[in-house]
Amino acid sequence: MKALKIRQTALGLDHPSTAQTLSNLANLFHIQCKYDQAEPLYKTLLEIRTRLGRHMHVAEVLNSLAEVYQDQGRYAEAEQHFWRHFQSFKKTSVQSMQA
């Protein structure tokens, strides 16, 4: 958490390095089954990625958040986020093909 605070102060919340640190921490808490710590980090990361318009990264965060909900037995929320992940991924794939 200290590294995250340093990056936020030095680079700002929307900087890619700050977002990557946030992602790393969320993933670490997730694999440690510390869902109460992982969830808010993923939600913050989702806001950042959405604001920056990085759709592939948005899809990844939605999937990770869905997995946190699934691991907790929060299946309705997991399903909602898996569907959002699918839609975001589909949108990104179509945009990639058109480029």
What does the alpha-carbon distance between residue 38 and residue 29 come to, in Å, rounded to a whole number? 5
What does the alpha-carbon distance between residue 39 and residue 61 come to, in Å, rounded to a whole number? 10
Phi and psi at 15, nearest 5°, equal -75, 140
Whole-number pLDDT of residue 27? 97
- Residue 32 pLDDT > 70, yes or no? yes
Domains of the chain by start residue, with CATH: 2-98 (1.25.40.10)
The pTM assigned to this predicted structure is: 0.84
- Residue 86 pLDDT > 70, yes or no? yes
**What average pLDDT does range 71-91 have in this prediction?**
91
Give kind and range of the element (H or E) at residue 53: none
**What average pLDDT does range 43-72 have in this prediction?**
91
What does the alpha-carbon distance between residue 88 and residue 17 come to, in Å, rounded to a whole number? 22
